Structures are given as C-alpha cells and as structure tokens.
Amino acid sequence: MTADVRKETLGFQTEAKQLLHLMIHSLYSNKEIFLRELISNASDAIDKLRFAALADSSLLEGGPELQIQVDVTSSKKLHTVTISDNGIGMNRDEVIENLGTIAKSGTAAFLENLTGDQKKDSQLIGQFGVGFYSAFIVAERVEVHTRKAGEAADQGVLWESHGEAEFSIESRPKETRGTSITLFLKKDCQEFADDWRVRSVIKKYSDHISVPVMMAKPPAPAEDGEKPDKDAPVEYQAINAATALWTRGRSDVKDEEYKEFYKHVSHDFQDPLTWSHNRVEGKLEYTSLLYLPQKAPFDMWNREMNRGLKLYVQRTFIMDDAEQFLPMYLRFVKGVVDSNDLSLNVSREILQQDPAVESMRSALTKRVLDMLAKLAKGKGDDYATFWKEFGQVLKEGPAEDMANKEKIAKLLRFSTTHTDQETQDQSLEDYVSRMQEKQDKIYYVVAESFKTAKHSPHLEVFRKKGIEVLLLSDRVDDWLMNHLQEFDGKQFQDIARGALDLGAETEEEKAEQEKLAKESEALVERLGKVLESKVAEVRATNRLTDSATCLVVGDHDMGAQMRRIMEAAGQPVPESKPILEINPAHPLVKMLDQEADEDRFADLGNILFDQANLAEGGQLDDPAAYVSKLNKLLLEMSGNR
C-alpha cells in the first residue's frame, strides 16, 4: 500500500472553531485538566486495541507491553509535553474525522447554551466533555503523530494546528503503532514542562488508569561533584498504580479516587452525586461500579445515544456503552461492569441472547434504584439535584419496568396543591400520609404547563374540600399515569376524566346533585344541540365553584396532553369529543339559560365552550370567530348594539 504524501490544510468544523476559541481563552479555571483528558484518551485507545486484538492478534505487532508514556522538554527555546500511547492509532481519514470535527450529538445545543459568563460556561463544558481540544488550554501549537495498528510504517500521519481556523495534515512514517501528541506550551503555561509538576498532576488525576503511565526516572545525583552522564540510557518507571480501580476493595479506595475515576469513564468535569461499588460472587461473578451524575448531558432525550456502561470481561475492555445491562429509563447511569461469566469475544448481538446478561441486568437495575432510594432518604438536597436533572427520564420507568414499578413510584416527585409550588418535591408517600379519612383515591390533573394545571377549573371543588391534587405538566406525565395506575393500594384518578368521584357523599350532597341535574335538563339539552359538532355531551356538574364551564375527557378517550403531543409529532390520533360540564349556579350560565334569542344563545354557548378549551391550555379552531363573538357580546352588554 503506497503512502499518501499529500499535505493538506483544512478548516475546522464551525462548532470545533467555536469550542477552540473557548479553550484558547482559558475557559477552565483549572488548566492542569488537559493532562487528565489526554491520558484518558490514550487509555481508551489502548482499550480499543486490546479488544480488536482478540479477533486479530497481529495488531499487537509483537510490540512491548501496552502503556502510556509522558515526556517533558524544557530549555530556553522549547517547552513541550508529549503524551504517547501504543494503542489502536488512527489513519488519515480518522484523524480528519476525530480531530477536525466534534462528532458528538448535542454540540449545537451546547453552543446555544453558552452565556458569555466564564464561570457558568465552564460548567457547561464540564457537562459536554471536550477531550483532545483541552490541549489548547495550555498549548500554542499541537502536533499529533499517529499510525493505525496493523498498517505499514509509511502510513503514519502528522496533524498540526495552532488552534485557530485551520489544521494541516500530511504523511509522516511512524515505526510504532499508536499516537503521540506533542504540546508546545504557551509562555504562561511552561510550568507543565517541569517533570515534578507533571508527575504530581498524573498521580492526582490518573492513578486509577489500568495501564502504566511511564515517565523517565529522575537522574541519580552525581558523586563527588561530577556532572550527570548525558549519554546514559533513559530509564522509565510507572508513576501510577496501574490497577483497575474497580478490582480493588472498597476500603482501599479513597473518595477522591472514586471521583476521578468517574470523570475518566464519563468524560464529565464535575463530581458524581454518589456511587455504588459492589462485587457479586456465587452463581454469577461480576463487579460493578455505578455512578449518578450531577448534570444531564444535552443529548439525554436522544434515547439512542448516551447510555450504557463500560463492559470488561476478566479485566479486558470489551465495549463502551453496553446498553444491555440497564433499562432505557436508567440511561443516565455511568460506570463499569466487569464479568467473569462472559466470553472474551462477546458482541452486542451475543449480549442480547445471553441469560447471564439478563440476570445481571435485573440485579444492576435494583442496585441503581436502591442507590436512588438511599440518596432520597439520606441526602434530600442531592436527590433534589438529581430529580431536577433526571426526573423526567425516571418517569419513563413504570411503563418500561413492571417488575420494579413500586420501587420507581416511591422515587417519583411531584408538584401538588399542598405547596402550590412548581418545584417537584412531594413524594407519593407524602401525599398518602395527608389523605383525608374517607379518601380512597390519589387525584391528579395533567396540563400543558404548571400554571395551567395550578389554575385548572377542575381543582375548584378539591380546593373547597381541602383535598390534595397532583399538578402534572411534564410531557411524559400523561404517559406515566396511564401505566402507574395505583400506589399503596390507592387508585389514581384524573380529575379531568369521566364523572367526578370524591368518595362517600352525604345524603344532602346527593340530593343537591340530583336537584341540580333536574333543574338544568332543559338548558343541557338546548346547549347540547348548539354544540353537537364539538362535544360528546353537555351535563351539569358539582365540580365547579368559580368557573362557568370545564371540559372533561371521556373515560376511555385519549388525554388532552397526549393528544397534543401526538398531533405535534404528526402521529394519527383517534377522533373524540370532550364533554362540556356547566355550573348552573354561575351567573353566566344563568344568563345563558334566560336567553330567548337563539342566535345570541348560540354565540354565548360557543364562547363558553371556547373559554373552557382555553382554560385547559387548548387551542381554538377559529380564534377570529371567538374574538368576533366576544366583541359582539361586550358591545351588547355596554348598550352599543
């Protein structure tokens, strides 16, 4: 195969240029983070070679043990740091793809969220993770010399950039596989050309890396004032523990080590909320180290991205993002699972068919739910942080995981009329503990927004009687309640669906309701004819105290919120009409009942229907007609006909 000797100058992808601008202007408050990122990338490259070599041992090229090497150079004219690995390496196309673009979903959303506030933006970058580009925090120029394992020495590639608009790429022979990254340091970053400074950073951030990170041994002190022998061969030594952290006992691992390992596996810049390190022995043998992040990534709602654990088999890396070990609704969990019961040539397809995987998935799912329960019980503030970021994802759980529905339900948090606050901080156990003596249902209302839910006319009788209602406004809520159905033996009841049932009614209340229905029969029939194309039926109600009307969904019809979501997504929805309930005691309804002019009665009836629709957060089919009818009514009331 003939080497491509072309030297090309290419432009960075737009998003990469914007990100590089932030790097160069020192967005990070802690510059030494670049070393952790580059060593982490080198470790990943070695893991990928190990996995590829399972199928093709020739990729190892009979080379030395897998390792990372860090060298520093410091002179009057030159200050550099070089990070080298003998991992999988890259070919020319891969270099352009990996170093010229940011091939990660969520980039656009990340850039849109930048505020210009350096402190806030550094937190955003922490959520995003930028790996290689962090080199430009300290370097004015970066060279990457790489060759893909298994290719000829003349297939090496040299990439170079000053971190501005362009980079160059050319062929450059490389005898050994892998990648070397040389950073030519900025004047104010030359501290990183100091051997001891670099050693301390590596010990701090990368002690957990499972491959040795090698640096040259410091020269031995000369005897009797003699100068050190400059021609003596350089000896290298490992400066990290080089032991997979999850293989150590929990008592042997410090909290700081757990936190740094999380940053390695997740490419996050913030500490995790909590973690669980567990070794299982018996019929199945495996070790897991699971983390809960503080912040959700930008692509959290892409259900095909950003999920899964790092899978190792007998301490050999197999794959990133092994999604088979946790259900979709726990896709925010990061970490490692290392099994002794899977074969080294396992693939994603084989994982789907392996009974051991299903057993591990069940156990790991319960472990995550137990982590969350422990966090909720012992560290309420941390759980509030978790819920704010991942609550909507966890709400997918009851529909996806019937076996753990009860555990998930205990972890859910809601807004309710008890606090009337938008913050979702009330559990179902809290709700049940406050239920009235004869109350046998958990009541809820679903709306397009919290304000719409809070001011729903359906709440009026509940507020009057002091009965608490869950206020639901997340897009997933209607779907959640369709699958949750009950908690602690109490059925859930949508207060905007079907006939109102507040439990045991007094004889006086029953008599009042019957009287109300009888007195309203003529009005209900008359209004039903006017609105027959819009409503399934009209009926008198006792659920309203302040409002004239409200819309109710039939017992077996799709909820209004779910209908809006499906329509917005272009999905077909079954045809159905709402039920219009009227409050006969309301002045507007009384006025309507006394109206003799049929045209005016029709206008008033349509206005009340449209108002009920608006109160539910719905949209009018003909807003102009509504405005025209309302203006006409206002003019008539003012005497200007």
What CATH code is carried by the domain that includes residue 545? 1.20.120.790
- Answer yes or no: do 252 and 295 share one domain: yes
Is 275 a member of any domain? yes
Q: CA 35, CA 474: separation in Å to the nearest integer?
A: 41
Q: Which is more confidently placed, 43 or 30? A: 43
pLDDT in tens, 237-262: 999 888 889 999 999 999 999 999 99
Asked, for residue 404, whether it belongs to a domain, the answer is no
Of 344, 364, 383, the one marking the end of a domain is 383
Do the domain assignments include residue 394? no
Mean pLDDT of 469-479: 92
Amino acid making up residue 409:
A
- Classify residue 556: in a domain, yes or no: yes
Whole-number pLDDT of residue 316:
77
Q: Say whether both 547 and 496 belong to one domain.
A: no
Check: CB of residue 39 under 8 Å from CB of residue 132. no
299 to 473, 486, 538: CA distances (angstroms): 21, 32, 45
Which pLDDT tens digit goes with each residue over 437-463? Answer: 889 999 999 998 999 999 999 999 999
Q: Are 306 and 331 within 8 A, CB to CB?
A: yes
Residues 484 and 366 in one domain: no
Q: What is the pLDDT of residues 539-550, one digit of tens each?
A: 988 888 889 999
- CATH code, 498: 3.40.50.11260
Lowest average pLDDT, out of 181-190, 279-288, 562-571, goes to: 562-571
Q: Are residues 250 and 217 in the same domain?
A: no
Residue 283 maps to a domain: yes
The secondary structure of 175-211 as a DSSP string is SSSEEEEEEEE-GGGGGGGSHHHHHHHHHHHHTT-SS
Whether residues 499 and 531 share a domain: the answer is: no
Judge if 351 and 259 occupy the same domain.
Answer: yes
By the 10 Å C-beta count (0-12 exposed, 13-18 middle, 19+ buried), 473 is classed as buried
Number of folded domains that form the chain: 4
Chain mean pLDDT for the chain: 85
Residues 84 and 207 grouped into a single domain? yes
∠ at Cα 566 (560, 571), nearest 5°?
140
Q: Would you state the pLDDT for residue 107?
A: 46
pLDDT digits (tens, 9 = 90+) for 109-157: 555 555 556 555 544 444 444 578 888 889 999 999 999 999 999 999 9
Q: What is the dihedral of CA 422, 121, 41, 256, to 10 degrees?
A: -70
Residue 221: what pLDDT? 64
**Percent of the chain's residues with pLDDT above 70:** 86
CATH of residue 290's domain is: 3.30.230.80
Alpha-carbon dihedral of residues 252, 255, 258, 263, nearest 10 degrees? -160
Range of 35-39, 114-118, 129-133, 468-472 with top mean pLDDT: 468-472
57 and 187, same domain (yes or no) = yes
Q: Examine residue 398 and state whether it is found in any structural domain, yes or no.
A: no
- Domain boundary residue, one of 478, 504, 530: 504
Q: What is the DSSP string of 382-442?
A: HHHHHHHHHHHHHTTHHHH-GGGHHHHHHH--BEETTT--SS--B-HHHHHHT--TT--EE
Same domain for 438 and 374, yes or no, is no
Quote the tokens at residue 572. Answer: 């077909």
**pLDDT at residue 561 above 90?**
no
Residue 408 counted as domain residue: no
* Identity of the residue numbered 557: D
Above 60 in pLDDT, residue 27?
no
- Find out whether 193 and 80 touch, Cβ atoms under 8 Å: yes
Residue 1 lies in a domain: no
Q: Are residues 119 and 253 in the same domain?
A: no
Q: Say if residue 614's pLDDT is above 50.
A: yes
Q: Are residues 366 and 493 in the same domain?
A: no
Q: Which residue from 360, 433, 370 is spatially nearest to 404, judged by alpha carbons? A: 370
Task: Kindly state whether residues 165 and 211 are assigned to the same domain.
Answer: yes
- Give the CATH number for residue 115: 3.30.565.10
For residues 43, 48, 50, 53, the Cα torsion angle rounded to the nearest 10 degrees is -150
Q: Give the pLDDT confidence of 202-212 residue by residue, as tens digits.
A: 988 888 788 99
pLDDT digits (tens, 9 = 90+) for 271-319: 999 999 999 998 889 999 999 999 887 767 766 665 789 998 887 778 8
Identity at 180, one-letter amino acid code: S
If you search the block for the tokens 């209602």, which residue do you land on? 469
pTM: 0.75
Give me the pLDDT at residue 265, please.
Answer: 86
Domain of 605?
A: 520-637
Q: Half-sphere exposure of residue 314, counting CA atoms within 13 Å on the CB side?
A: 10
